[in-house]
Structure formats: C-alpha cells, structure tokens
Chain A
Amino acid sequence: MPLVRSDKLPCASDGDVVIVRQRVRSLAVESGFPLVDQTKIVTAASELARNTVVHGQGGTVELEMLVEGARRGVRLTFTDHGPGIADISQAMKDGFTTGGGLGLGLGGAKRLSSEFEIRSRAGEGTVVRIARWR
C-alpha cells in the first residue's frame, strides 16, 4: 500500500492533544475527506491521544496518508511505553474506565474508524492503530 506521507508528533500533554487534532484535521482535508469523515477521524484521534497522555504516560502519534487505487486514507498510530493494558477486551467495553472518564475512548474510536488494531502488554506499553478511508 503506497504511503504518500508520514509525520510523527509528540503526544504527552493536553496541549499536544489539541495539536494532534489540528494536524489530523489538515491531513483529512488534504486527503479529500468529506466533513463528516473529517469529524469522525479527528474525534477518534482526540480520544486516542488523550488515552496516550492519561493512561500511557505520554508517547507519540504517527500520521500517515495512504493511497490505494482511487481511494485515500488516513492512518494514525499511537504508541506509548506506559503500564500497558492487562485485559484488552475489558478495556474495549463501553463504560469501562480506570481514568475517571466515561470509558468511551477505545470502543468509540473503533466505531469511528474503518480499521482498528490494538497491541498491548502489561508493563511494556500500548500501540493503537486506526485508519479511515475516503
């Protein structure tokens, strides 16, 4: 799958989450996403960036623009080296939270994406990758 462009940003503070949202928006606009799709990927990015900051003790996000035939996609990879997730299926459930939030972050981000992948190991960190296609 040809990769058009890739960019890596820090994701370690409240301010970084705002910047991630703005950069994902620009990439989605550039990829020709309609407004609703832009809104969905930016919202998913916001949830996952916050998870990286709050649960992962900070990390990075890689933003990629993909091309496959006539379609374009945006792929985001959030990586942290925090405590990891002991039980992923539990963490994916709506309403499950350890951070005092609503517990909609992971499940919600999955619903807002075309592709969703999560890898985590206790004590080693978490990688969440989502993609959305136009």
Chain B
Amino acid sequence: MGEFLLVSIQVDMHDKLAITLQDDLTTSIVKHRARGVLIDISSLEIVDSFIGRMLANIAAMSRVLDAETVVVGMRPAVAITLVELGMSLTGVRTALTVERAMDTLRASVATGAESGRGDAARPE
C-alpha cells in the first residue's frame, strides 16, 4: 500500500492486546515512514471506552509523527452505543469504506506536500 499502513482488527481484543497494537502501530509508522494509517474496525461488535481511547491515542500519536489516521467501517449499532456511552471520538477521522478512507488519506498527503511538508520547522 506504499505510504499507508492498513490495520484490520479481526478479534475481540483484551485490553493488553489493544495496548500492544497501539505500541506496534506507532513503531511501524516510523519504521515504514507511513503518511497514513487506516484502521478497519468493521469486524468489531463493540467499541467500549478502552478501545475508543486506543483509537483516539493512535490518531493523536500518528499526528505527532506526521501521519493521518482514518478509522473505517464502524457498525451503526457501535456508533449509537459509543455516543451514548459518552465518547464522540473527537479528533479521530472516520470513513464508511476503505475506498473513502484512502481518498481522505491521499487528499491529506497531497495537501501536506503542497504546503511544503516540514518546512515550518526547518531553520533556513
């Protein structure tokens, strides 16, 4: 997938596994110099506050590492429950399909390139 990482969560994760995923993914962003992370959660039957926090953490960490995260394929029942639980996943970009998530990531990388990636932090 070139500069994007694709993660598909297929199992009901226990909490330690979720933390491991968060750590591994952050390491992978740097290792592969990824500009985008796509997390497919279409297999997840629930997202509770712990998994919600993991998604928000990944989004925040990837942003710090100059990558965008898009969470893909949340089930409607999961979305309804998550909001009622009190989590609105502020700061996490979402998309309904992988195609739309890819479009979002490509657009965000293109915008970043136009404005001169990293120039602001580089001393002249």
Contact = CB atoms under 8 A, between A and B. Distances in A.
Interface in A88-107: 94, 101-102, 104-105, 107
Contacts of B87: 102, 104, 108
Provide the main secondary structure of the chain B interface: helix
Contact of B86 (A17, A42, A46, A107): A107
Interface stretch (B11-19, B34-42, B116-124): B11-19
B122 to A, nearest CB: 36
Interface of A: 14-15, 17-18, 21-22, 25, 35-36, 38-40, 42-43, 46-47, 50, 94, 101-102, 104-105, 107-108, 111-112
A46 B87 CA distance: 15
Interface residues of B, number: 24
B45 A42 contact: yes
A102 B53 contact: yes
Given A38-B77, A108-B85, 11 more contacts: A18-B14, A35-B77, A36-B81, A39-B75, A39-B80, A40-B84, A42-B45, A43-B81, A102-B87, A108-B84, A112-B85
